[in-house]
Amino acid sequence: MVCGYIVKSDSAQQKQYMIMKTGAERKNDMNGNLRCSIDIDSKTGKKQSVISTPHEILEYIDYICRIEKETFNPPWTKDDFLKELESLDSCSMVIMEEKEKILGYLFAKKAADEININKLCIHPDYRGLGYGKTLLGRFIGCIRGKCSRVFLEVAALNTPAIRLYKGAGFRINRTRKNLYADGSDGLEMVLDILQKPVHVD
């Protein structure tokens, strides 16, 4: 039974969306399997939380879209994010600081025994502070035992991101020429998640 769905209403200003829950569990839903919302303490001592359920993430979708527009060209649209939240094969996480400040987000999708990370982004003002490591580490910890490999793509010139992924155990699988709209190359990276524990410090 599909228990997650989108209710849509049109207005002169914009479409409004709401993710509704109609059952205690979305049994085939990766988000349902990844209920690992926990509070953590950063090195600064500020309270942080990681949320992973669709209805929680939906509350902050407009903030996520703003970060997306500041970071990517072309960015995902609001519809793109909502489709991810609706999908029973998707899994998503958002890392927040106290006072509900969005620091970053991760969206992924499961196919057979593999997971593909489609989006991992940290707010431009908070990069280089370890939040990407925290978010990726929590995600890997939650999917352990639920898949054999994790894939992602990253721009070949994005050295900080490549360093982050290698630190988490990812390796370069192949180069994809002219992957992006500007003609730049991309790297496909893979994590063989069943081989050994992954620690992202």
**Digit-coded pLDDT (tens) for 4-60:** 222 333 332 333 333 333 223 343 344 444 444 445 455 666 667 788 888 888 989
| pLDDT tens profile 117-135 | 999 999 999 999 899 999 9
Contact 95, 48 (CB under 8 A): yes
pLDDT in the model for residue 172: 97
pLDDT in the model for residue 49: 79
pLDDT in the model for residue 45: 64
Q: Give residue limits of the domains in the chain.
A: 30-192
Helix or strand (DSSP H, E) at 191: strand 186-192
| pLDDT tens profile 88-124 | 888 889 988 766 788 999 999 999 899 999 999 999 9
Asked whether the predicted pLDDT for residue 62 surpasses 90, the reply is yes
Mention every residue, 6+ apart, whose C-beta is less than 8 A from residue 125.
none
pLDDT in the model for residue 105: 95
pLDDT in the model for residue 194: 72
Position 146 confidence tier, pLDDT thresholds 50, 70, 90: confident
| pLDDT tens profile 148-199 | 999 999 999 999 999 999 999 999 999 999 888 888 999 999 999 875 544 5
Q: What are phi and psi of 150, to 5 degrees?
A: -125, 130
CATH superfamily of 30-192: Gcn5-related N-acetyltransferase (GNAT) (3.40.630.30)
Residue with the larger pLDDT of the pair 146 and 23: 146
pLDDT in the model for residue 167: 95
Q: Residue written as tokens 């410090």?
A: 201
What is the C-alpha separation between 165 and 101, in angstroms, rounded? 24
**What token pair was written down for 104?**
């970053």
